[in-house]
Structure 1
């Protein structure tokens, strides 16, 4: 299931339940990848492989120079939303889970 699309392949009611569960555990600093695995992120890059192979290729395709027209700029969804959610939890002095 994790390689086939994560919660995206569930029937609507089950997907809603999984989304609710993910939101609840995120309150405690446990962040699940909704697409099932990291390789589900940034599909437009066309990165192949699995694990470190995928990650290296994805970083290479993102680029390193923000002034390069081919550079992939962050957006408000996908992996960027995931990282922003983790950041908000870390900065929240009233967060659940790990005490401040």
Structure 2
């Protein structure tokens, strides 16, 4: 079983009108991930109930090399640059797998 490589990213958006544009940017980025990133296992944008300016990403990659490849993709580079107009704060937590299901 591969240990995988995961992270959680909490974005606090600048304003309520930024949420729709940010979510659209994420959806366009996901198109590139689906087409070009076989090593990306899970990449999900979550809304947090009761916190309309927060988005929470859960990302899981086959391994660190798959994450590094993700970071170099043109669609990811575009997202990282474009998100700044919508995001007031970014918090990243890297994860180490202990146990779980399904195996990656």
Give the structure with the larger strand fraction. Answer: 2
Same fold per TM (> 0.5)? no
In the superposition, the TM-score normalised over structure 1's length comes to 0.29
More contact order relative to length (CA 8 Å, sep ≥ 6): 2
